[in-house]
Amino acid sequence: EDKVVQSPLSLVVHEGDTVTLNCSYEVTNFRSLLWYKQEKKAPTFLFMLTSSGIEKKSGRLSSILDKKELFSILNITATQTGDSAVYLCAVGNAGTSYGKLTFGQGTILTVHP
């Protein structure tokens, strides 16, 4: 059974801090790892990673994958109150006929002014 574990489960920081969110996984046939940001409503897509060691970057957010150690990190630098959200990690399984994703529990990030 595929499994995704995120840590920490929650995190409280002040504006300007840098945070690192962790995602470890077990999957029978790895295809991809995805990060989503969820505010009040729908999860919105941030990154998809398929190769080890290649950093994906978007503004203050960046992510990297380690397929040997089976984990990924999501970094957010110079945090802002608008970064407050639940961050979800999911892994895709290549051994299915559809886009199967297994999600972690999420990390709740709270950024105080």
Least gap, CB of 90 to other proteins (angstroms): 8
Nearer CB in complex with other proteins: 17/50: 50
Q: Interface with other proteins includes 92 (CB under 8 A)?
A: yes
Check: CB of residue 49 under 8 Å from CB of residue 65: yes
- With CB under 8 A as the contact rule, which of the stretches 19-27, 59-67, 74-82, 85-93 interacts with other proteins? 85-93
Q: Interface with other proteins includes 44 (CB under 8 A)?
A: yes
* Category of 26 on φ-ψ map: left (φ > 0), alpha (ψ -120 to 50) or beta: beta
Cα diameter, the chain: 46
Q: Interface with other proteins includes 103 (CB under 8 A)?
A: yes
Q: Interface with other proteins includes 23 (CB under 8 A)?
A: no
Task: Using CB atoms within 10 Å of the CB of residue 21, give its burial: 0 to 12 exposed, 13 to 18 middle, 19+ buried.
Answer: buried
Q: Interface with other proteins includes 34 (CB under 8 A)?
A: yes
Six-digit token string for 76: 């957010």
The residues that touch other proteins, with contacts defined as CB under 8 A, are: 4, 31-32, 34, 36, 41-45, 48, 88, 90, 92, 97-101, 103-106
